[in-house]
Amino acid sequence: MGAAHPEAMAPPKPGRTRTAPPQMPSTWWSAPRIRTYLLFDATGFIYFLVGFHAIHMIRALGEGPEAWQAVMSSLSHPLYILFHVVALASVIFVAVRFFRLFPKAQPPSIGPAKPPPGNVIHAMLYVVWIGITLVMSLALSGVIF
């Protein structure tokens, strides 16, 4: 058997090892899941615009009937319609993602009670969503209330 290396049991040298900073793979943004996540994050910009538009409408309401009518007529512009279609698609995309991830964020028990299984919560979210959409659609179209 050969002799042990003379420095095999030597105490470590003082100071820290020089390290290279963390590296991100050059293609990190092209992974499908990351692209979906980036799209999810980007929808925040749409909500910013929707919020800005809502404030603009409230201001117009305060400025009088002419200003309000001007805003209402501008809503029929094809660009506004396109914007609202994109906003609706964003909301559906975020809602579906949220519904998928929400059930597993439930604690295993809340006091003595156990939440229902994840797939039941998932289904309940869709039922509530469809229910609220239905009631609002009926209310806004004047069928109820």
Q: How far is the CB of 38 from other proteins (least distance, A)?
A: 9
Query: Residues 96, 102: contact at Cβ < 8 Å?
Result: no
Q: Answer yes or no whether residue 101 interacts with other proteins by CB under 8 A.
A: yes
Residues between 120 and 139 with contacts to other proteins, criterion CB under 8 A? none
At residue 81, the 3 state secondary structure works out as helix
Q: Compute CA distances 129 → 25, 55, 101, 132, whole Å.
A: 39, 25, 15, 5
**Binding mask 61-90 vs other proteins (x if CB under 8 A, - otherwise)?**
------------------------------
Q: How far apart are the first and last CA of the chain?
A: 94
Q: Which of 11, 107, 112, 142 binds other proteins (CB under 8 A)?
A: 107
State the residues that interact with other proteins by CB under 8 A.
17-28, 30-31, 33-34, 37, 41, 101, 104-109
